[in-house]
Structure 1
Amino acid sequence: MQNLDGKSVVITGASRGIGEATARHMAELGAKVVLAARSGDDIERIAEDITQAGGTAMAKTCDVSDYAQVEGLASHTTATFGRLDVLINNAGLIDPIARLDESDPAAWSTIVDVNLKGVYYGYRAALPIMLAQGEGTIINISSGAATGALEGWSHYCATKAGVLSLTKCGHKEYGDKGLRIMGLSPGTVATEMQVQIKASGVNPVSQLDPDVHIPPEWVAKGLAFLCGSGGDAYLGADFSLKTDEGRKLVGLPLIDN
């Protein structure tokens, strides 16, 4: 099990799903977690749960589509904990799902603002801090949609392809400066997003049986694994939980089991 004692970990989209599970898991591993999301009440509740369980957690309301708020998140983290060791760019949206000719331009733009610009803003705010420290880890939540087109998901596929490019660019620019940058592609996860996908009925993913979706706690374990030396083999690339190889490394049940 990865030891994150004393590490300062910022998690965006931490009010539910993957973000919440990751905050709880990493706090159990000794990390000082900063939960960031637009839903202030939710992250305050989760942070209080973590604190009462003996962990260290702080909630910071943040809309990742607003650079000033993301910069404030990074500054608040270093002011409180002295460092920013790990940034997990998890915040993301997929709704509304629609074919291109039926899509709403404003809604499509919002997905770009959150899913793609939000990751860039995280980079821009965290990189100067991490470079000054001489070390740091950034993990972007990726998707198979980054490389595979799906009907009705033009906004999601385009932004996740952009995030994969940011992962590659980040590693190319800062991999030789002590920074570790990579992505995690979890496959389908049992979160609110899958409820929205199911309701759309647009493409094959919406037809999947809910039993095939992995729990967000598995993704949290994958992210913790990447924070350690095991993640070094995946710098500048996506680590996948959709293969037995990835699951075995993390200690998760294999696909055929």
Structure 2
Amino acid sequence: MPSSKIVVVTGAARGIGAAAALELARAGITPVLFVRSPEAARPVLDSIDQLGANASVCQCDVSSPTEVEAAMAQTLERHGRIDGIVNNAGQIDPIGRLAETDPVVWRKALEVNLLGAYHVARAAIPAMVAAKRGLVLNISSGAAHQARLGWSAYCSAKAGLFMLTRAIATEYAEEGIVAIGFQPGVVDTEMQSRIRSSGINEISRLRRDELAPADRAGRAIAWLCKEVPRQFNGTDTVLKDLLAIAGASEFIMRPMPLETP
């Protein structure tokens, strides 16, 4: 399958990241999977290979700037360019009221959810500036804008990520780079299983059948990477915003083939 773009997806071994990588490949975009464990990413990579896409995997902990820089250099050496990044890697822990949380875990949440996105953007932007084009897509959350009981670290990190999106849009718009935050909603992932087991707030009490499928979020991400809609530059957008755009709804809501893994 020929590719028109190269897009890095962090946290691509499972959940929304895995769905996004697969949907990017279906859209003719080559995904590069940044994951902590390449072995864990094998199922999604096998599914992408079946589509004929030339995907690749880089071992990378996004909280480590050194590992991120090495993975980005490897990506540029193999593919020659980077057209977009999807900052999806994240963690919900620690869950609990602030004074009861472990400060080491609280700090790690910021290192993954916020600093990780910074490290990946920082490593990718020079290549985008040289090409005078690129997309920084940060996977945001309603938690960026509304505090949730027991999620002090996650909400703080996502709020910072929203401002990072705005900062990138402000600093690099004239050099052809678009930065968008995307809130996928409450999606059926392993993270949501962890949230439901906590029972700490209203989100944790949602039934599994009330959650959105990961493939729908993946198709929304693929559409954003394919179209790079500049009207959302520097904003946090939600699925409803995309479904209001001609052509986006058909792309995102289309029925999935029965043979989908």
Query: Would you say the 8 A contact 2:92–2:191 is kept in 1?
Result: yes
**Residue 53 (structure 1) aligned with residue 54 (structure 2):** no
TM-score, structure 1 normalization: 0.92
2:229 partner amino acid: G
Within 2, Cα distance between the matches of 1:40 and 1:5?
22
Q: Deviations over 1:145-201 (max 9, x none)?
A: 001001100000000000000000000000111111111011100000110100011
Correspondence for 1:15: 13
Deviation at 1:220, TM superposition (A): 1.2
Residue identity opposite 2:105 in structure 1 = A
Q: How do 1:174-193 residues align onto structure 2 when only pairs under 5 Å count?
A: 174-193=172-191
Structure 1: gaps of 5 or more residues:
none
Q: Which moved more, 1:37-46 or 1:181-190?
A: 37-46
In the TM superposition, what whole-angstrom CA distance separates every residue of 1:96-152 from its partner, at most 9, and x where no partner exists? 311101100001011011001001101110111111111111100000000100110
CA distance in 1, matches of 2:176, 2:242: 24
Conservation of the 8 A alpha-carbon contact between 2:30 and 2:53: yes
Show the counterpart of 1:151.
149
Residue in 1 aligned with 2:221?
Answer: 223
Larger displacement relative to structure 2 (9-18 or 125-134): 125-134
Name the residue aligned to 1:28: 26
Amino acid at match of 1:27: A
Match of 2:41 in 1: 43
Amino acid at match of 2:103: P
Determine the structure 1 residue equivalent to 2:256: none
1:45 Cα shift? 3.7
Q: Percent identity of the aligned residues? A: 41
The offset of 1:52, in angstroms, is: 3.1
Aligned to 1:75: 73
Aligned position for 1:247: 243
CA distance in 1, matches of 2:66, 2:220: 30
Q: Distance in 1 between matches of 2:34 and 2:44?
A: 11
| Letter matched to residue 205 of structure 1 | I
Match in the other structure for 1:142: 140
Larger displacement relative to structure 2 (37-46 or 122-131): 37-46
In the aligned structure 1, how far is the partner of 2:127 from the partner of 2:227? 21
Shift of 1:230: 6.0
Question: CA-to-partner distance for each residue in 1:24-74, whole Å, 9 max, x for gaps?
Answer: 111111112111111220223422331233111101111000001111111
Aligned to 2:88: 90
Aligned length: 249
- Report the Cα offset of residue 248 of structure 1: 4.0
**2:98 aligned residue:** 100
Mapped partners of 1:117, 1:132: distance in 2:
24
